[in-house]
Amino acid sequence: MVDPRSVTILGIDHAQVAAPRGCEAEARAFYGGLLGLEELEKPEPLRGRGGCWFRAGTHELHVGIEEPFAPARKAHPGFLVDDLAALTERLRGRGIEVTPDETIPGVERAYVADPFGNRLELRQA
């Protein structure tokens, strides 16, 4: 057995959310258009699986196809944003429900759902 202290986890490379087949246009509109994430080109061997990849700072968010699809309503990626108020206003302007959360003193954050029902946390940097 390998000693767990002999290996160091350096960070998180990416998080993945699931989506139904044919989701790509909606994912691009939401993650790329509304959230402003940069879309990354998926490696050729993975393109046939569907879905799409995005960059958030130095990390990636992968939207992957899951069949049968079930949205994650509790598990979620958390995004740091430079202007939470402006982003939540933009999302509400598009009819997206934003749920503020003040349970951690001194931390501004809110929850939204992507077009597929996956929970996302938005947190003021």
- What is the predicted pLDDT for the residue at 7? 86
CA distance 116 to 50: 15
- What is the predicted pLDDT for the residue at 118? 98
Residue 74 lies in a domain: yes
pLDDT tens string 47-67? 999 999 999 999 999 999 999
Report residues of the chain scoring pLDDT below 50.
Answer: none
Residue 66 lies in a domain: yes
Residue 6 lies in a domain: no
Measured on CA atoms in the order 42, 45, 46, 50, is the torsion positive or negative? positive
Q: Cβ contacts of residue 37 below 8 Å, gap of 6+? A: 31, 54, 55, 56, 61
Residue 4 lies in a domain: no
The gap from C-alpha 50 to its chain's centroid, in whole angstroms, comes to: 17
Instruction: Give the residue numbers spanning the domain of 38.
Output: 12-124
* Region for residue 17 given its phi and psi (left: phi exceeds 0; alpha: psi -120 to 50; beta: otherwise): beta
